[in-house]
Chains A and B, each alone.
Chain A
Amino acid sequence: MKLSKIARLALGATAALAIAAAAFGVAQAQQKAAGRGIFTIVIDGSSTVFPISEAAGESFQQQMQGRVRVTVAESGTGGGFRKFCRGETHVQDASRPITSTEMLACQNSGVRYIEIPIAFDALSVVVNPSNPVQTITIEDLKKIWQPEAQGRITNWRQVNPSFPNLPLSLYGAGTASGTFDYFTEAVNGKAKASRTDYQPTEDDNVTVQGVAGEEGAMGYFGMSYYLENTSRVRALGISYQGKPPVRPSPQTVENGTYVPLARPIFLYVNVAALSRPPVAQFVNHYLTNATTLVRQAKYVPLPASAYQTGLERVQRKSAGTAFGGKNDIGATITEVLQRPLVLTPTS
């Protein structure tokens, strides 16, 4: 093979660039190798589930004596699922079941998942402690939060003549949040249907501060934030379908009277990630210690048999969701755990 001068020069330049690129690749590999030995488990998703996963991550890191790192972010259930279904996270925290759109996104990128109910939560509707309102019906909550209320329902008295004459200011979950999806479906009858003239946030502490600072403010978030801030905000008793009002508490969630705002919350685990021993060990650690971790985070643990079912699903790598892409307000955990798992939306 004879090479002309131009070709030799060009070939030399190409080879030099290829060598530079290879060196760049080696440098990258070395950079990664510097952190090798410390496998990082990546978790993202619901801010509601965040306190449990954070506690699980901390205890697992201690158990592994620094050989594994666990990072837990709280992009919201929707934002977390976008990353999870692109294969960017190992574990997804979710305060509602996976939707049909998210199921298709996971399917299209080859992400199979195990659905694990991890705890009960009670969405708590909170007001300023000085507000005289003690209880509220779901119908009145709908008057406040439905899209038609936007710009029109601005005073408590417009909702119910027995309520005080106070300007109404609202705090709630951001639209990427599973809490937002669940609350809007349970109260307004359709997920994501909500007035938008309220203060949305993924940080529930913002809601606590807002409600604590305004006499006429109302907000909603998971029960753990309420139980941590009982001196600053007060939870309303919720009356549903003419029944007596019930306040959120571990007891009312366990005995099934806090409806329709009690809900299971979930972990979703990437099946392929379970081939990495640290991920499998972490999920086992999470489920084995779930009762303690959930109580520490001020949520309500599921029955022990539910965690056993979760462990079996992990061992068998039983992929899919019991919800088929739709939420199911009011379903019991026993019923949910007995349903067949599907990876394709059922409708």
Chain B
Amino acid sequence: MRNSLLLRSAALLALTTGAGVSQAQAQSAPPPPPNFQAAPSFRDADGGFTFKVRGRMMYDIYSVDADFAGTVADQSYRRSGLRRARLGVEGQMTPKFRYQAEATILGGGATWEELRLEYVGKEASVFIGNTNTFEPMEELTSSRVINFNERAKWTEAFGTGRFAGIGAVWTGPNWSLRAGVQGDSINNAETAGREELLQAKVRGTWAPIMERTPEGANILHLGVNLRYRDAMGDSPSAVATAGRQGFRYRARPQGDGFGDRFIDTDYGAAAGLPAFSGDTDRLYVAEVAYVRGPILVAGNYAYSEIESVLGADASFSGGNVDLVWNLTGESHNYRGRTGDFTRTAAATPITVEGGHGLVQLGLRYDNVTLTDSVTGGKVRGGTQNAYVAALNWYPIDYVGFKLNYAYNDITGGDAGTRTGEAQVISLRTQFDF
């Protein structure tokens, strides 16, 4: 985490400097009144400096029912709890320097989520910090606007997320190209003998069809992602004390309330050494999404080639297909410059005059396969097929109620011994600003 410490210092210094610039600018012209978009947004008279507080809260009530034929994996319970609680700031110090800093506040502690500084160049933007800017669309799309309560589980299995590093983004109205080099998450603790992992990522997107009329949008999105990771081989002493070497491949069923992951290549781990973990891996993700009026059809296919710590090489895969119908008629809101979906504004948000908000119905098929034949045997991480139905209601743009039912069919987990099903019903209440 050596470079993460450096990044933290640089980001905080930049934020402090930005505040100074803003004060100097504020003296030259009277500031306009704040603009309210769920939270006040401030800018100076020239619009060069902007500042906004941001945050989100997601509270889940969920029911979990796992049936593994009377084994210890069986469980059935209902719980409730905070899924996400974040607070942060965003803005720009000058039109050339933007920032975003947001932290999760859960369980008495705080961890950084997005913590980045962006330089907006003429041809490209440069990002430095802890960011998911270089991840596939399924990971990149904000949790505030995802159509299902959880992201497709291949993102968890293959370790997408926010990491510290640097990269650049080139964009056009309907395309984007982004490339970055990253290490660990900025939140990772420093451990003696543990090496900073190395990741190189490239993502390209193109929307050959991108039209919008009062009758709705007509959009075709295509995207590809490539990622190379190297765990950089932790020292034997670090493995002995921290019990980790290389990358794990595992995922919970749909629904984050589950503590258990029923598919996992970490089965039967010997002391400090998992049965199968990656030394280096390559991840290829293909994205496609089509919007026609109120209908969205989207799919991802992810394929990972792994060179394991133990020498056996394997390949795993995953993917999802989504069908989402905005029953109230709105088209999904796509951004060609970032190649992702953002908030869809309700055509008739609930106001004192009436309105019914945005109502969505979604269906998803989600697959993660962590089983593969390798030289001299077989990796038996298991396969999970999930079928998810979602009913979402956004009475206004910044408030949502999302009911999900997920049926997970799990085969061959835990070294081939775990086969069963898990059902998750979750009701999420969320707001953001």
A259 to B409, CA, bound (A): 76
CB pair A2 B67 closer than 8 Å: yes
CB pair A17 B403 closer than 8 Å: yes
Judge whether B391 is part of the interface by a CB distance below 8 angstroms: yes
CB pair B405 A11 closer than 8 Å: yes
- List residues 35-70 of chain B with CB under 8 A from any CB of chain A: 63, 65, 67
Known: A10-B425, A110-B336. A25 touches B67 (CB 8 A): no
A170 to B361, CA, bound (A): 54
CB pair B361 A14 closer than 8 Å: no
Stretch in A83-91, A234-242, A260-268 with 4+ CB within 8 Å of B: A83-91
- List residues 57-114 of chain A with CB under 8 A from any CB of chain B: 86-90, 107-112
Q: Which residues of B lie under 8 Å from residue A272 when comparing CB positions?
A: 211-213, 218
CB pair B361 A273 closer than 8 Å: no
Q: Which residues of B lie under 8 Å from residue A3 when comparing CB positions?
A: 65, 423
Judge whether B327 is part of the interface by a CB distance below 8 angstroms: yes
Judge whether A18 is part of the interface by a CB distance below 8 angstroms: yes
Number of interface residues of B (CB under 8 A): 36
CB pair A1 B407 closer than 8 Å: yes
CB pair B329 A28 closer than 8 Å: yes
CB pair A21 B361 closer than 8 Å: yes
Known: A87-B212, A108-B336, A111-B211. 6 other contacts (CB 8 A): A7-B63, A7-B425, A14-B391, A21-B361, A28-B328, A270-B213
A294 to B217, CA, bound (A): 33
> Quick one: closest A residue to B329, CB to CB?
A28
Q: Interface of B with A (CB < 8 Å)?
A: 63, 65, 67, 76, 78, 173-174, 207, 210-215, 217-219, 325, 327-329, 334-337, 359, 361, 389, 391, 403, 405, 407, 409, 421, 423, 425
Judge whether A231 is part of the interface by a CB distance below 8 angstroms: no
Name the prevailing secondary structure of the B interface residues.
strand
Q: Which residues of A lie under 8 Å from residue B207 when comparing CB positions?
A: 110
Judge whether A6 is part of the interface by a CB distance below 8 angstroms: yes
CB pair A110 B361 closer than 8 Å: no
Q: Which residues of A lie under 8 Å from residue B211 when comparing CB positions?
A: 87, 110-112, 271-272
Judge whether A337 is part of the interface by a CB distance below 8 angstroms: no
CB pair A4 B65 closer than 8 Å: yes
A42 to B212, CA, bound (A): 14
> What are 25 A-B residue pairs whose CB atoms fall within 8 Å in the complex?
A1-B407, A3-B423, A4-B67, A6-B63, A6-B65, A6-B76, A7-B63, A7-B425, A14-B389, A21-B391, A22-B327, A25-B327, A25-B359, A28-B327, A28-B329, A42-B214, A87-B212, A110-B173, A110-B174, A110-B212, A111-B212, A272-B212, A272-B218, A273-B214, A276-B213
How close is B315's CB to chain A, nearest CB, in angstroms? 29
How close is A72's CB to chain B, nearest CB, in angstroms? 14
Known: A110-B219, A273-B213. A10 touches B407 (CB 8 A): no
1/0 contact trace for A20-34 toward B, CB 8 Å?
Answer: 011011001000100
How close is A180's CB to chain B, nearest CB, in angstroms? 17
CB pair B78 A6 closer than 8 Å: yes
Q: Which residues of B lie under 8 Å from residue A271 when comparing CB positions?
A: 211
How close is A9's CB to chain B, nearest CB, in angstroms? 9
> Quick one: closest B residue to A41, CB to CB?
B214
Among A6, A24, A32, find the residue whose CB has the most chain B CB atoms closer than 10 A.
A6
CB pair B335 A108 closer than 8 Å: yes
Q: Which residues of B lie under 8 Å from residue A276 when comparing CB positions?
A: 213, 215
How close is B88's CB to chain A, nearest CB, in angstroms? 24
How close is A51's CB to chain B, nearest CB, in angstroms? 23
Q: Which residues of B lie under 8 Å from residue A112 when comparing CB positions?
A: 211
Known: A1-B407, A108-B336. A89 touches B214 (CB 8 A): yes
Q: Which residues of A lie under 8 Å from residue B337 when comparing CB positions?
A: 108
CB pair B214 A88 closer than 8 Å: yes
A270 to B217, CA, bound (A): 12
CB pair A108 B327 closer than 8 Å: no
A2 to B423, CA, bound (A): 10
Across the interface, A18 reaches (CB within 8 A) one of B217, B218, B361, B421, namely B361
> Quick one: closest B residue to A274, CB to CB?
B213
CB pair B421 A21 closer than 8 Å: no
How close is B110's CB to chain A, nearest CB, in angstroms? 34
Q: Which residues of B lie under 8 Å from residue A32 when comparing CB positions?
A: 329
Known: A6-B76, A10-B425, A28-B328. A87 touches B213 (CB 8 A): yes
A3 to B328, CA, bound (A): 33
CB pair A110 B423 closer than 8 Å: no
Across the interface, B389 reaches (CB within 8 A) one of A18, A28, A90, A109, namely A18
